[in-house]
Every structure is written in C-alpha cells, then in structure tokens.
Amino acid sequence: MALNSDISLQDLTAQFRGLNLNEPETWPTVPRLLFSVLAAVIVLVLGWQFYWSDKSNELDRRHAEHETLKQQYKTKVAQIANLDALRAQKVEVEKRVALAERQLPNSTEMDALLADVNHAGVARGLQFELFKPQAATVKAYFAEIPVNLKVTGRYHDVALFNADVAALSRIVSMRNLNMSVAKDGTLSMEGVAMAYRALDPEEQAAQRRAAADAAAKKAKGGAK
C-alpha cells in the first residue's frame, strides 16, 4: 500500500512538470482540474469583493429605507385618522388666541386700562400711596407694562380690589405682593400690577426683523 501511494504521488507530481502556461489545453487532467478550481475560487472572491458586496450593502440600505418609509406611512395614517380632531383643536386654539388678543389693549388704550386699575382701588376706599407705571418691555408677541403700586385700606377692601383687578376685561396680573398691618389695623399692600398690551405695527415689524436676523445668524453658525 505504501508503494502504491508513493507511485501515485510521484505520478501526480510528474503531471505538474513541464507545464506550458501558454497551452493549458495540453495539460494533464489533475493540473487542469486544480487550476480550474483555483480560477473559480479567484472569480468568486473577486466577484464578492467588487460586485456582490456592493449589492449586499445596497440591499441593506434599501431595507432601511423601506422600514423608514413604512414608519412614515404609519405616522401619516395615524394623522389622517385624527385629522378631524386636529382640525377641531386648531379651531379651538384659534378662538382662544383671538380671545386673548381681544383682551390686549393697544398703546392708545393703555391709559384707559391704568385708569381702570386706579378706579378699582378708589372705588373700594383704598388710598394710593404709589401708582407709577414703568417703561414697557417688548416681548415676542406682546408688551409688558409694570405698574409699581402701594395701597392702604381695610383687609376686606384690599382683597376685593385684587378681585376687581382680576375681573377686568383686560389682562392685569398682580405680582410680588407684600402686605403689612399698621398700628391702626389698616392693611398696606405693595406690589406690581403687570399690564399687557398688543404690539404696534412698528414693534411687530421690529420683532420679525429680529427673529429673521437670529435665524440667519443661527444658520450661518451651523454652516461653519
């Protein structure tokens, strides 16, 4: 058996001797089979490296896009299902915004509003020791006008004065209230009555320009 193996190995080795690379059709069977298998392996490796791997990556990308589109589709379907509810909410929000805007006086109506606050205190028998409007602070959609005030009177009348201010048709909020009781039993209340007004057209234009400038700076900064 050992002799036959040696002879077979010698025969196989002999088939690889003197091969003419320019005439592979003249090669013996074993070299032709071996080089055919080797060529097939090389083709498969090169095909995977330069063709099938890209196709696999593209397939993965397509699968990810499919999942994203499917999720977007589900989101859109849910939005469509709630479209009537969203429309109803939009109408309700618009009504609330319109109501809030009606409660904001313009600059020409501010004097009347401040007079209403003053009259509310006088009507309750309160004494104004301080009633001093400050400069307006312009916000994005409205302006705040703080009014520093100090009133004295009976506890019950001071409480009713605060209730009257809260019940005004215009929005006025009481802030930073400090109360103290004098020796004669009268109550002194000091604080800020914050009034609000709608922006004038010039102020609205200035706010839009400021918002546009801020957006442009942000976009410019993000592009760096």
CA distance 1 to 48: 43
- pLDDT at residue 163 in the model: 93
Q: In this structure, what token pair is assigned to residue 119?
A: 């009259």
Mean pLDDT to the nearest integer, 10-21: 67
CA distance 22 to 13: 20
| Tokens 């005004």 belong to residue | 168
Phi and psi for 79 in degrees, rounded to 5? -65, -40
Chain segment 87-108, per-residue pLDDT in tens: 888 888 877 766 766 667 777 7
The CATH homologous superfamily of the domain defined by 103-198: Ribosomal protein S6/Translation elongation factor EF1B (3.30.70.60)
User: Which residues are within 8 A (CB) of 22 and not within 5 positions of it... i.e. 6 or more apart?
Assistant: none
CA distance 152 to 81: 59
Helices (H), 22-154: 29-47, 53-81, 83-102, 110-123
pTM: 0.51
Chain segment 124-174, per-residue pLDDT in tens: 999 999 999 999 888 877 889 999 999 999 999 999 999 999 998 888 899
Distances (CA, A) of 206 to 3, 215, 219, 220: 104, 14, 20, 21
Q: How far apart are the first and last CA of the chain?
A: 80
State the pLDDT confidence band at 5, using cuts at 50, 70 and 90: very low
Do residues 136 and 143 make contact, with C-beta atoms less than 8 angstroms apart? yes
> How is residue 51 annotated by DSSP?
I
